[in-house]
Amino acid sequence: MGMLYIVPTPVGNLEDITLRAIRILREADFVLAEDTRTSAKLMKHLDIQVPMYSYHKFNEHKAVASLVERIQNCEHHVALISDAGTPGISDPGFLLAREAVRNGLDVQCLPGATAFVPALVSSALPCDKFVFEGFLPQKKGRQTRLKFLKDEERTIVFYESPYRVLKTLTQFVEVFGPERQGAAVREISKIHEECVRGTLAQLVEHFTKNEPRGEFVLLVGGAGDTAPAANN
C-alpha cells in the first residue's frame, strides 16, 4: 500500500528546498500539485521527471476519494505539493490528508518552508505564543472575526494579498487601535524581502506612501503588549 508525503516547497528562494524533499519527489509514483505549470518550473530546476497531476481548491472535494484509491494502489508513495510553502497551510491539502488517514494510509509531512514562521520570528513581536489566522474572509464575517480577536493576548498572524494590505491595515487600526504594535513582512526569502515594524498607524502611513507589492504576512501584537517592535 502506498503512502502520502506532504512536501513543503520554497516560498521564494529555490535553495530553501531540503535534500529530503528532493529525494521524496524523485522517488514518488506521482506528484499532486496545486498548479502544474508553476510546479513544473521547480521540477525542471531540480531535474525531477515524475508524472504530475493537478490538485487545487477547485477540484479537491471531487478528487479526494479517487486520489485516496490511487494512493492505496500505488507501488511506493505520492507527494503532495502546493505552489509555495507547506500544503494545508492556507493551501489545499487538509482534505486529502484527512481522508487518507481515515482510509488507513500513512501520511507524513516533511519539515520545510512556510511563510509565517520567518515572518513571525523577524517581526520582533513575541513569538513564544501566537495565533495563526491565515487569510481573513474577504467580505462576510471579516469585521466579526477581527472584533473576536480584539482582546487576544498572543501575537496574531495573517496572510494578505498586496491588493488588500492597506485596507486590512486600516481595519486593524479601527479594531485594535492605532498604537497596537505590528509588522508587515513581504517577499520572504526573495531579493526584495522587507520587514516593516511599528505601530499599526505607522504601518498604514508607510504603505500609503509606498505601494504594497508581493505576498504579505501581517502581524499584530497581542493586547497589552506595548513594547515597540522596532523602528520601521
Measure the CA–CA gap between 51 and 126, rounded to whole angstroms: 43
Q: Which of 109, 144, 171 is the last residue of a domain?
A: 109
pLDDT at 161 over 90: yes
Regarding whether 212 and 156 lie in a shared domain, the answer is yes
Regarding whether 105 and 166 lie in a shared domain, the answer is no
The model's pTM = 0.91
pLDDT value for 202: 98
pLDDT value for 62: 87
- Stretch 66-93: mean pLDDT, rounded? 93
Regarding whether 126 and 105 lie in a shared domain, the answer is no
Q: Show the DSSP H helices in the chain as ranges.
A: 19-27, 36-45, 60-73, 94-102, 116-122, 142-148, 165-176, 200-209
Domain harbouring 68, CATH code: 3.40.1010.10
Q: Which of 109, 138, 160 is the last residue of a domain?
A: 109
- Number of structural domains in the chain: 2
Question: Which residue segment(s) compose the domain that 208 sits in?
Answer: 116-220
Task: Give the residue from 84, 38, 35, 26 showing the smallest Cα distance to 57.
Answer: 35
- Stretch 94-116: mean pLDDT, rounded? 95
Q: What share of the chain is helix, strand, coil (3-state, %, to 5)?
A: 35, 20, 45
pLDDT at 225 over 90: no
Regarding whether 213 and 124 lie in a shared domain, the answer is yes
Angle between helix 200-209 and helix 165-176 axes, rounded to 10 deg: 160
| Domain assignment present for 50 | yes
Regarding whether 170 and 138 lie in a shared domain, the answer is yes
State the pLDDT confidence band at 220, using cuts at 50, 70 and 90: very high
- Stretch 135-151: mean pLDDT, rounded? 93
Parallel, antiparallel, or unpaired: how do β-strands 181-186 and 194-199 relate?
Answer: antiparallel
Regarding whether 207 and 122 lie in a shared domain, the answer is yes
- 79: helix, coil or strand? strand
pLDDT value for 230: 54
Q: Which of 45, 76, 109 is the last residue of a domain?
A: 109
- CB within 8 A of 58, min separation 6: which ones? none
Regarding whether 179 and 208 lie in a shared domain, the answer is yes
Regarding whether 208 and 123 lie in a shared domain, the answer is yes
State the pLDDT confidence band at 224, using cuts at 50, 70 and 90: confident
| Domain assignment present for 64 | yes
144 CB neighbour count, 10 Å cutoff: 10
State the pLDDT confidence band at 227, using cuts at 50, 70 and 90: low
Measure the CA–CA gap between 167 and 88, rounded to whole angstroms: 26
State the pLDDT confidence band at 229, using cuts at 50, 70 and 90: low
pLDDT value for 232: 54
Ramachandran angles phi, psi of 72, nearest 5° = -60, -35
Domain harbouring 215, CATH code: 3.30.950.10
> For 29-57, how does the pLDDT look when each residue is reduced to its tens digit (9 = 90+)?
999 999 999 999 999 999 999 999 999 88
Regarding whether 138 and 99 lie in a shared domain, the answer is no
pLDDT value for 217: 98
Higher pLDDT pick, 59 / 30: 30
Regarding whether 122 and 85 lie in a shared domain, the answer is no
